[in-house]
Amino acid sequence: MEVFEQWESEIRGYCRAYPTVFASASNARQTDEQGKEYIDFFAGAGVLNFGHNNPRMKEALIKFLQEDGVSHSLDMATSCKREYIQAFADTILIPRKMNYKMQFMGPTGTNAVEAALKLARRVTGRSEVVAFSQGFHGMTLGALACTANNYFRNAAGVPLNNVTHVPFETSKGGGLENLEAVKAAYLSGSSGNDLPAAFMVETIQAEGGVNIASQEWLQAVQQMAHELGALFIVDDIQVGCGRTGQYFSFEDLHIDPDIICLAKGIGGYGTPLAMNLIKPEHDAHWKPGEHTGTFRGQGISFIAGREGLRYFENDELMQQTRKRSAMMTEFLESLSQKYSDGKFVVRGKGLIHGIDVADNDLAKGIARQCFDDGLLIGPCGVTSRVIKFIPPLTANDDDLSQGLEIFAQAVAKKVGG
């Protein structure tokens, strides 16, 4: 690790929690330079929905490179981009009767959020945006203004303006009654609140602690946005692309976002790609070239992402994900009963789960014990007291079972003595 310590910036983060040098990876396992294997329940924070070095994607990428495919062309038309767009429309949008334009911008989730905010302000002619407590939307200044965590916000160096934060449903002071109060304040002629351009929300706050919004609450947020003439934006960057047992996290919630922000898993292979799905009437407000990005959709990501879409040509993977969700919930609930008399709180949907152990030192201790025992997993939430499970959707049953057993043993060591 000496090279990293000597030459890499102090900003490095995850490598401090996982102090080893990884050399290779396959599906749900990584191997370090000493040959030690780790089961990966982190999956690049949701990037690797289809595992490390997915063989289907690897084959397609090798073929693409050998045939001198166009790996970078700004936003020019290419064969691989056309195939990706058509496949996304045929596999995802048309079967769900969804009508959206696809906008590719910079390669990360924060770029998707920035573009969504800019467009919402253009469409409405307003500047203020409503975001929610404990939300995470990115690190660039516009997205960071929507992010709630003070640790990240304090690094900005400038005021983070034009965003109002209100309580998420599961936060103190949140819920339907609070939404009514928020709406009343905006409708009042003497509240001092300017009407917002957009409401931006995660249906599941992944980095915020695996906090799950209800259908009723999300529908109320959407209704309020539209009553106020604002856009309703769903950030599906970490929990989309099959993570919850359906392509979009909200498919069973009967909401209809104006803009959907996607990234992470849509690149497929761990290659960077971000895309906003925009209602055509809103997309019409863009002028050509008005929002650009050097890497707004590059060929390698289109090739890998197109292979990822093949997993959604039938419901087999999603059925498996929903089945595993129930298994994971049952397993974690049993641990909660055994070691905390049910005081640990388990939350999850599909293959994103969290267990709130109510103590950040305990959460970090369990995560470090897991690392020592060969499992990559990490805390999240405002005080890092929630341990988050996001294994690849393609992980085999043995790796999932073994990973959960390693976690159970770590809890036993740290809680059960």
pLDDT in tens, 219-244: 999 999 999 999 999 999 999 999 99
User: What pLDDT is recorded for position 188?
Assistant: 87
Q: Distance between CA atoms of 154 and 141, rounded to whole angstroms?
A: 11
Phi, psi at 282, each rounded to 5°: -85, -40
Task: Over range 105-122, report the average pLDDT.
Answer: 96
Which of the following CATH numbers is that of domain 2-53+317-414: 3.90.1150.10, 1.10.3720.10, 1.25.40.10, 3.40.50.80?
3.90.1150.10
Residue with tokens 């002071």: 173
C-alpha closest to that of 193 among 219, 162, 217: 162
pLDDT in tens, 331-354: 999 999 999 998 999 999 999 999
Residue with tokens 């073929």: 63
> What are the residues whose beta carbons fall under 8 Å from the beta carbon of 136, sequence distance 6 or more?
147, 148, 149, 152, 202, 205, 206, 207, 208
Instruction: Find out whether 222 and 257 touch, Cβ atoms under 8 Å.
Output: yes
Helix %, strand %, coil % of the chain (to 5)? 40, 15, 40
Instruction: Find out whether 114 and 140 touch, Cβ atoms under 8 Å.
Output: yes
0.95 exceeded by pTM: yes
Q: Distance between CA atoms of 127 and 158, rounded to whole angstroms?
A: 17
For domain 69-312, give the CATH number. 3.40.640.10
C-alpha closest to that of 165 among 334, 382, 325: 382
> Does the pLDDT value for residue 189 go beyond 90?
no
- For the chain, give every domain's residue range: 2-53+317-414, 69-312
> Does the pLDDT value for residue 417 go beyond 70?
no
> What are the residues whose beta carbons fall under 8 Å from the beta carbon of 46, sequence distance 6 or more?
206, 237, 238, 239, 243, 264, 265, 352, 390
User: What pLDDT is recorded for position 382?
Assistant: 84
Of 11-20, 47-56, 93-102, 137-146, the range with the lowest mean pLDDT is: 11-20
pLDDT band at 192 (very low <50, low <70, confident <90, very high): confident
* The residue type at 286: W
> What are the residues whose beta carbons fall under 8 Å from the beta carbon of 74, sequence distance 6 or more?
292, 294, 296
